[in-house]
Structures are given as structure tokens and as C-alpha cells.
Amino acid sequence: MTTLLLRAGLVFAGAGPELENGWVLARDGMIAEVGSGTPPLADEVLNLPNCVAVPGLVNAHDHMYQWATRGYVPDGGLFAWLRGLYPVWAQIDADTVRIAARAAMARLLLSGCTLSTDHHYVFPRESKGIFEALVETASELGLRFHPCRGSMSLGESKGGLPPDSVVEEEDAILAHTEEMIHTFHDAAEGSMCRVVVAPCSPFSVTPQLMRDSAQLARRHGVRLHTHLAETLDEERFCLERFGKRPLELMQELGWTGDDVWFAHGIHFNDAEVNQVAETRTGIAHCPSSNMRVGAGMCRVEDLVRAGARVGLGVDGAASNEDSNLAMELHQALLTARARAAMEGREDAATALGARDAWQLATAGGAACLGRDDCGTLAAGKCADVAFYRLDDLAHAGMDDPPAALALAPPARAEAVVVHGRIVVREGRLLTGDEDKITRDIAAESKRLRAGL
Ligand SMILES: [Zn+2]
């Protein structure tokens, strides 16, 4: 048994009181005790009185391979952006994905993220080992990981958006998804890897694959994830092709419930907001990406008020260009207020407080991912903790640390602990070589660009 004592100027646990001179005692990857004042003895101590300690941030939506294709189509809406990128993505293989995932995960860890999903849906023909590369990279860098076996089956020739060159046969998708669940899914408490079933979107797979995927996931007790209600283009596609709005379609296909979470969930009417909440379906809000592609602004406050689970996601780096979850927390706060102001609300400036934004970035994301053992700092939870400095130029002298960090999002965490293991210290990644990761992603991005 090994113990690690984490001390900070303030422990903002996300549950219970905020503790000045607080500490968290980790034992074998889990939190044994949280307190303040005189701490217990431990095998190892990380003492950061100039920092606030928070629950590790949770990334509820991402496409890590996109780190190799940042900066394409800087001004296009979702469908134009996708059409511009599909031919680039058609070139990826397991090496590309490994290099990109190292960059994405390093950036996430350095921003204080300790638990992330990844929605991988591009499996070009003859490419092997892509899903394995993602799982291995998370293990190498020490990130708690929920990889989604995504898929696309509705090519252009059948009326879908993606070119036929990047879609797969449905039987092969389902067989490979089941194989990945058998190989990598660990349902145990404190698990470092859980597999998710995740057809890409209503405009890139068939309704039959959606139905079959839901059945497969439920047979194995794993979660379901897809994109939904991201843009009005998608809404028009669903109305024209299926005669139904996106949520109505998903409800009919068995795709609502407490084992489902959607990325984006922007274009919901009042009845749909209530339906999402009543069915306990989760929403991963990705504010930077949504603004980048001009998709709109999620009704976060309405969803939370209705009782829905809402988390935050960075989304793929081809529509965000960074993977800093602390920045998404900041953007969530600002967009909620902009949205409230545009609705004519007099209380717009108090919409989504800093602590509410922290809740989305931690416990809210954990709820989307089905992790009741993550998202807060309390005895019995996973020992996943992020530390942010309060004495750097960006924050020195600011009152109220949780508000200060939400209003002035930190560029990187000072220290990060995942499952009781220190993976970032003094703002540097201990589990990977940041300089090499940077060189490799630059070279791979250049190679893909040259291949067009
Ligand atoms: Zn996405």
C-alpha cells in the first residue's frame, strides 16, 4: 500500500466546504481522506501552498487524431469544414493517430484534465491498430481514458455526407467494436479504461447501425455516444431524409437514456430540453468548437435547470486548435452570459457562475461518462487532482480562487495527479517528452498536408 499526500493553499473539492490549507490523502489510487490543518503522514508529499487543488477536469468530447489536422478550413461551417477535412483524414493510419493522441493527451493533462473520452470514427481501409494506438497512448501518458469506437457507414453514394473512401461496412464495424470491448473495457471502480460505442452522427451512419450499436452497447453494459443537434444543417438533413428532428429520430432509435450522452446538443426546443433531462441523457457542451464553426450556443442553463447532466468537451483540435479544458470552462461561462443577454434577460451577467462552470468541467463531465467515482475530491473517489498556481502574473492578487481561475483561465496546470500518480509537476509532463511530442506533431501535420 502506498500513500500520497497532496497539500494546497486551497482545496476546492467540488463537494463540501472549500478548505484553506487543505489536503487530500491518496492511497493506492483512491482518495482515503480530505481535510485541512495538520495533515496525516504519507509515503510521498506534494506540497503546493501557492496553488488551488481542484478535482481533475473531465473532457466529455474529443477527436484526438485531429491534432494532426489543425488549422484547416478556418472559416467554414460544419458541413463545409467536414468536406474540406475528409480527404485529409482518409490518409491517417495508426502512426498518425498515436502521434496526434500523444499531443492531444499531453495538452489535456497539462491543462489539468485527468479523465477524457475520445470519439474516433475514421478507420480508413487497410489501416490497422488505430484503436489500440489510442488505448496504448493513454496508458503511456497516464490519462484515465474512455475511448469511443466510432464509425461512419453512410457514404456520399448513399446520400450521406462523407466520401465513400472513409466509410466502413456495418458488419465489420459491429464486429470490431465488440472485439475492442472484449479487449479493453474495464467496468471496475477506479477503472483506467472503459470502451464506448459511438456511431458518428445521423448524417454519416444509417438508422440501422444506430439501432444495432445501441443493442450491442446494452448487451455489454457499455455507454453510447454520438454527435447531435450541432447545427441547423444537421436538423435540415434529418427533416428532409427522415421527416424527423434529430432528437425525435434518436429517441425512436433507442438512443436516449442514462447510458447515452450527446456531443453539442445546441438546437433543442423547450420540449426537447425537457426530454433530454427526463431521459437522463447527457450533453457534452463544446463552446470553443461551436463558436469556431458558427454552430450556435448550447442552452446550458436551461438543460441544467431541467435536471440534465451537462459536461464540457474540447472537441477535436481541427475545430478548436487547442485542448485546454480550463479554457472551455471559461468559454462556457462567457457564452452562457452572452446567450442570456441575447434572450433579453436582465440577469444575464449572473448567468452560469464560476462554481457552476467548475461543476460542468468536473462532476458534470464525470456524470456524462458514467463515472460516479470521479469528478469530486472525497473519500472513496479516484485520486485525480489538478493544481493551478495563484501567484503567477495572470492570477497574483486576485480574490476568490475558483472565480479567478474561471475568469482568467490558466494556460497550464502546475501539477496533475491521476489515480494517485503525479503526471505533471512544475508545469512539465513527467510521462512524456513534450519537446519530442511537439516535433513529431509538426512533422506528421506537414506530411499529411503534403499528401493532398
Ligand atoms: Zn465532435
Distance of CA 286 to the CA centre of its chain: 8
Question: How far, in Å, from the CA of 200 to the mean position of ligand 1?
Answer: 8
Output the CA 234–ligand 1 centroid distance in Å: 13
Tell me, in angstroms, the distance from the centre of ligand 1 to residue 67's CA.
13
| Per-residue pLDDT, 452 | 79
Largest CA distance in the chain: 68
Distance 201 CA to ligand 1 centre (A): 9
* 48 alpha carbon – ligand 1 mean position (Å): 36
CA of 304 to the centre of ligand 1 (A): 21
Give ion ligand 1 contacts, CB < 5 A. 263, 315
Q: What is the pLDDT of residue 126?
A: 80
Q: What single-letter amino acid sits at 61?
A: H
Distance (angstroms) between ligand 1 centre and the Cα of 263 equals 6
What does the alpha-carbon distance between residue 367 and residue 388 come to, in Å, rounded to a whole number? 23
For 282, phi then psi, to 5°, come to -95, 155
User: d(Cα 278, Cα 267) in Å, to the nearest integer?
Assistant: 17
- CA torsion 205-70-109-130 (nearest 10°) is 50
Q: Whose CA is closest to 26, among 42, 8, 9?
A: 42
Report the separation in Å between the CA atom of 427 and the middle of ligand 1, taken as the mean of its atom positions: 28
* 178-206: average pLDDT: 97
How much of the chain exceeds pLDDT 90, in percent? 98
End-to-end CA distance of the chain: 53
CA of 286 to the centre of ligand 1 (A): 8
pLDDT bin (cut points 50, 70, 90) of residue 318 is very high
Cα 315 to ligand 1 centre (Å) = 5
- The Cα angle at residue 154 between residues 245 and 258, in degrees rounded to 5: 50
Instruction: Find all residues with CB under 8 Å of 247, minimum gap 6, and list them.
Output: 228, 229, 256, 268, 272, 275, 276
Mean pLDDT to the nearest integer, 360-378:
98
Strand pairing report for 282-285 and 260-264: parallel
Q: 123 by DSSP, 3-state: which? A: coil
Do residues 277 and 251 touch, judged by C-beta distance below 8 A? no
**CA distance linking residue 443 with residue 67, whole number of Å:** 12
- Rounded distance from Cα 140 to ligand 1 centre (Å): 24
DSSP 387-432: EEESSSTTTTT-SSHHHHHHHS--SS-SEEEETTEEEEETTEESSS
Distance 262 CA to ligand 1 centre (A): 10
Query: What letter would DSSP give residue 271?
Result: H
User: pLDDT tens across 405-414, in order?
Assistant: 999 999 999 9
Count of Cβ atoms closer than 10 Å to residue 125 Cβ: 10
Grouping H, G, I as helix, E, B as strand and the rest as coil, residue 50 is: strand
Distance between Cα 226 and ligand 1 center (Å)? 8
Is 80 exceeded by the pLDDT of residue 1?
A: no
* pLDDT digits 0-9 by tens, 5-44: 999 999 999 988 999 999 999 999 999 999 999 999 999 9
Q: How far is the CA of 81 from the centre of ligand 1 (A)?
A: 12
Alpha carbon of 227 to ligand 1 centroid (Å):
6
Q: What separation in Å is there between the alpha carbon of 120 and the centre of ligand 1? A: 9
CA–centroid distance, 23 to ligand 1, in Å, is 36
Q: How far apart are CA 413 and CA 108, in angstroms?
A: 10
Tell me what the pLDDT averaged over the chain comes to: 97
User: pLDDT tier at 211 (50, 70, 90 boundaries)?
Assistant: very high
Q: Ligand 1 centroid to 139 CA: how many Å? A: 23
d(CA 128, CA 105): 21
Q: Which residue has the higher pLDDT, 127 or 348?
A: 348
Question: What is the model's pLDDT at position 127?
Answer: 87
Percentages helix, strand, coil for the chain, rounded to the nearest 5? Answer: 40, 20, 40
Distance CA 111, CA 143 (A): 12
- Residue 36 Cα to ligand 1 middle (Å): 40
